[in-house]
Amino acid sequence: MSGPQCCANPPTLSPGSGSGHVEQLGGLKAYVVGSQDSKLAILLVSDVYGYEAPNLRKLADKVAAAGYYVVVPDYFKGDPYAPENAERPIGVWIKDHGADKGFEETKPIIQALKSKGISKIGAAGFCWGAKVVVELAKCELIQAAVLLHPSFVTVDDIKGAEIDQMSPPALLKQFEEVLAAKSEVDGFVKIFPKVSHGWTMRYKVEDEAAVKCAEEAHLDMIQWFVKFVK
């Protein structure tokens, strides 16, 4: 499930953005921010544009302000999707950067966090990253999961947005039904009207309506973590 909408509105990457810093963690470079003394960590798993997206780091800083140690790994090892590269369209790029690989590369990061004294971990995945987070949740490697405009996530994985072609309302309703039937799992699905795929990360700052929707989703995400990662 990859197409034009998946990659619309690419960010201008900025290695120096955010108030945190980059360090090696579990074998990957990662943007980290938040108190080193926190026992609670949040992983933010990026979309195809990777960990240098300014809006992603801005969100990481906001989550850290809520009391978490936040980690944004560089899953693509300096090779985020570049839409201007006509010789390497998304269908070709994704072959080198499957979510299954991202899932495996997260395991050492979780171990590294635990070695730092982290006792609970939540994770949020954006587009590409949502599939990674689903796999982490299925293996109970994290205590809470948030999926924002997910790509590649199926109803079987669960056993977004009104005009989002990658995770349309009909699919999200199916997710909601599956979650509702699992009494042992807390969950909720929220659909935002009139937004497109990628809207919580790749909004234009001058678009007030888009910013408002993104900030509402970010607040929902943080409140979910506050409830379950404590």
Give tens-digit pLDDT for 151-160.
767 656 655 4
Query: Per-residue pLDDT for 4 more than 80?
Result: no
pLDDT of residue 169 exceeding 90, the answer is no
Residue 32, beta-bridge partner list: 21, 71
Cβ partners under 8 Å of residue 43, min gap 6: 70, 71, 72, 73, 106, 109, 110, 121, 122, 123, 124, 133, 136, 142
Residue with tokens 């509702």: 180
Q: How confident is the model at residue 214 (pLDDT cuts 50, 70, 90)?
A: confident
- Name all contacts of 19-24 with Cβ < 8 Å and 24+ positions apart: 19/61, 20/57, 20/60, 20/61, 20/64, 20/70, 22/74
Helix axes 99-115, 128-138, angle to 10 degrees: 60
Instruction: Give me the mean pLDDT over the 24-35 stretch.
Output: 98
Asked: is 14-229 a CATH 3.40.50.1820 domain? The reply is yes
Tell me what pLDDT residue 207 has.
82
Q: What is the pLDDT of residues 52-65, one digit of tens each?
A: 999 999 999 999 99
